[in-house]
Amino acid sequence: MPYKINHKPWRDVSAAMLEHRKQTIAAVEPAVPGVADSLPLNVTSIPRQLLPSEVIEITESPSELLISRLSTGKLSSTAVVTAFLQRAGLASKLTNCVAELLPERALTRAKYLDDYLSKHRQTIGPLHGLPISVKEHVEMAGLDINAGFAAWVGNVATSDALILKLLWNAGCVFYARTTEPQALMHLETDNAIYGTTTNPFNTNLTAGGSSGGEGALLGLRGSCLGIGTDIGGSIRSPAANNGVFGLRPTSYRLPLSGLAATMLGAEHIVPVIGPLSTSLEGINLFMKALIDQQPWLYEPSLVPLPWKDTTEDSLLRKDGTGNRKLRIGVLSDDGVVKPHPPILRGIQTLVSALQSHPDIEIIPFPPYKHAEAWRIISSLYFADGGAEEKAAINASGEAILPLTEFILTQNPNVKELSVHEVWKLTQEREGYKAAYTRHWNSDQMVDVILTPAGPGCAPPHDCARYWGYTSQWNLLDYPSLVFPTGLQAGLEDKVEEGYKPRNEEDGYNYELYKPETYVDAPISLQLVGRRYEDEKVVEALRMISEIAGLPLKN
């Protein structure tokens, strides 16, 4: 849709939207508890202190357990939605993660679902009664779509995005819309409308971006399943920073129609939409519920590829000599920016737990020209030189934020490209993909790669400047799944003394690390598969988690 420009001063726009959000939280019954003016840096324990026990029990249940109880009538959708509305409202007061709550429409939907189950003795679909949170720029009929720009406030979606229609068909309830950054191109979530979303484990750290509202909301269990988008790490960064699961699917598996954003129609680097979840099974449920509806019948660009059952053990295939081992390539360092000590400890802890298992083979996986991958992808992100982003920012007079400036104006690869330059970069992209395929298919071909989700745990605000551990897989279009290890950063993760940085980016990342800054930050990792092997990644993580004793839910 063409976006109308709101010519009001951005501060007035922000004040009106903040008041609207305040009213939607105030409309929740029972009332959302207030919070103290002075809070600890780690606010994850506060919901248990302020919310009733029945709300805690519901909201701390994973989606698969809630669905089981909803489908049998042991829990009503009304009770579940009410609980999540309360906890989401509290989560927003603690971390600024919600753009608005939808109590009236959510409870109307929940009552309909409860009445349907009571009358027909069957559910609407596989997600019957389950609350799902939604990143704000996914269009929802009758609601504002601003994509993080103050000048776009006042644009109203005329219909639901296709993904929402399909999830609705599956029986879910939409109850919360979450925050996102200016330009949708940060591994941070801050904009001139709502301000900065913080990390619940340490509010001095970022919740990640661009789906950081979703990340913080799930991290505080104000949601069990949410929708994010990802073009360079925007699902996986928030999932990692907040200790939850997040899947970047292969492109063209889930429908993208109905998103508010700049540069719509650009195909140089294709964004994806996907789930964040407090459990691994929630990822599977989300994907299956959508793909079982054959979305390619409605959005013809999608690949007609059914979702395979990931509960079957198909990874250990017979090869004539017994079970074939699951080969895990370990890429602990991309050769450009060395990860911080907690991340390296997380990888070593997991590898130590897996390497003696008879069904697992651990194989060192060397990086292949990851700096070249960043040059290509960062050149293709903004083929117009960032003109649409800059115009949307300037229209309201809002300031360009530090990480917007970093990616748009401080990035030497961003310039307006001619058609011939786009063609040349596209050839380079395809050449790199072919070379990486050969790299993967080496003598010791692996099934999946275990790698960091970022160069450290959640960084301080305005400091998430290195995208390489996530954008690498966007360029290659490989499915990648972030997961919590159950570990947290601590004072035992000492600074590497005398380290000599490899380059400017590595030096910047090294200087960020101070153990006391990162105490309590979740240590998350990433599992990567090859194109269209999304199910294998989910299944491999389930197997790895069960062997290593990792949490399958947050």
Which tokens go with 11?
């501060």
Taking the alpha carbons of 144, 217, 282, 276 in that order, is the dihedral positive or negative? positive
pLDDT digits (tens, 9 = 90+) for 111-151: 999 999 999 999 999 999 999 999 999 999 999 999 999 99
Which positions are catalytic? Answer: 135, 210, 234
Q: Are residues 290 and 388 in the same domain?
A: no
Task: Residue 277: name the closest of 251, 312, 230, 242 by CA.
Answer: 242
Is the residue at 413 inside a domain? Answer: yes
Q: Report how far residue 94's alpha carbon sits from residue 104's, in angstroms, rounded to the nearest whole number.
A: 23
Bridge partners (DSSP) listed for residue 275: 227
Binning pLDDT at 50, 70 and 90, where does residue 533 land?
A: very high
- The predicted model gives 466-495 an average pLDDT of 97
Q: Are residues 360 and 256 in the same domain?
A: no
**Percentage of the residues of the chain whose pLDDT score is greater than 90:** 94
Q: Are residues 368 and 506 in the same domain?
A: yes
Q: Are residues 382 and 499 in the same domain?
A: yes
pLDDT of 442 reads: 84
Is the residue at 43 inside a domain? Answer: no
Q: Which domain holds residue 257?
A: 10-31+61-297
pTM: 0.97
Please return the burial class of 517, using the count of CB atoms within 10 Å of its CB with bins 0-12, 13-18 and 19+.
middle
Q: Residues near 259 by Cβ (< 8 Å), separated by ≥ 6?
A: 137, 138, 139, 161, 229, 271, 273
Q: Are residues 282 and 356 in the same domain?
A: no
pLDDT digits (tens, 9 = 90+) for 223-235: 999 999 999 999 9
Which tokens go with 478?
């490989």
Q: Which of 279, 297, 315 is the last residue of a domain?
A: 297
CA angle 14, 19, 20 (to 5 degrees): 100
Is the residue at 40 inside a domain? Answer: no
pLDDT above 70 (res 316): no
Q: Are residues 336 and 287 in the same domain?
A: no
Task: Specify the number of domains making up the chain.
Answer: 2
Q: Are residues 138 and 69 in the same domain?
A: yes
Q: Are residues 234 and 367 in the same domain?
A: no
**Percentage of the residues of the chain whose pLDDT score is greater than 70:** 97
Is the residue at 444 inside a domain? Answer: yes
Q: Report how far residue 184's alpha carbon sits from residue 131's, in angstroms, rounded to the nearest whole number.
A: 24
- CATH classification of the domain holding 347: 3.90.1300.10
Is the residue at 313 inside a domain? Answer: no
- Three-state DSSP class for 360? strand
Which tokens go with 141?
């009929």
pLDDT digits (tens, 9 = 90+) for 423-468: 999 999 999 999 999 999 986 789 999 999 999 999 999 999 999 9
The answer to whether the CB of 200 falls within 8 A of the CB of 43 is yes
Binning pLDDT at 50, 70 and 90, where does residue 313 land?
A: low
Binning pLDDT at 50, 70 and 90, where does residue 199 land?
A: very high
Is the residue at 90 inside a domain? Answer: yes
pLDDT of 449 reads: 98
Q: Are residues 212 and 360 in the same domain?
A: no
* Helix locations, 184-299, DSSP H: 212-219, 236-242, 280-291
Q: Are residues 157 and 26 in the same domain?
A: yes
pLDDT of 553 reads: 85
The answer to whether the CB of 490 falls within 8 A of the CB of 346 is no
The answer to whether the CB of 274 falls within 8 A of the CB of 235 is yes
The answer to whether the CB of 273 falls within 8 A of the CB of 252 is no
Binning pLDDT at 50, 70 and 90, where does residue 344 land?
A: very high
Q: Are residues 176 and 93 in the same domain?
A: yes
Task: Residue 182: name the closest of 242, 239, 262 by CA.
Answer: 262
pLDDT, averaged across the chain: 96
- The predicted model gives 404-429 an average pLDDT of 96
pLDDT of 319 reads: 52
- The predicted model gives 309-323 an average pLDDT of 61
Helices (H) and strands (E) in the chain, counts: 18, 15
pLDDT above 70 (res 314): no
Q: Which of 297, 314, 341 is the last residue of a domain?
A: 297
pLDDT digits (tens, 9 = 90+) for 18-73: 999 999 999 999 999 999 999 999 999 999 999 999 999 999 999 999 999 999 99
Is the residue at 192 inside a domain? Answer: yes
Length of the chain: 554
Residues belonging to the binding site for substrate are 184, 210, 231-234
pLDDT of 323 reads: 67
Is the residue at 176 inside a domain? Answer: yes
CA angle 136, 138, 144 (to 5 degrees): 55
Q: Which of 280, 297, 314 is the last residue of a domain?
A: 297
The answer to whether the CB of 298 falls within 8 A of the CB of 252 is no
* Maximum average pLDDT range among 234-238, 261-265, 438-442: 234-238
Q: Are residues 343 and 292 in the same domain?
A: no
Residues belonging to the binding site are 184, 210, 231-234
Q: Report how far residue 286's alpha carbon sits from residue 308's, in angstroms, rounded to the nearest whole number.
A: 13
Q: Which H or E run contains 134?
A: strand 131-135
pLDDT of 445 reads: 87
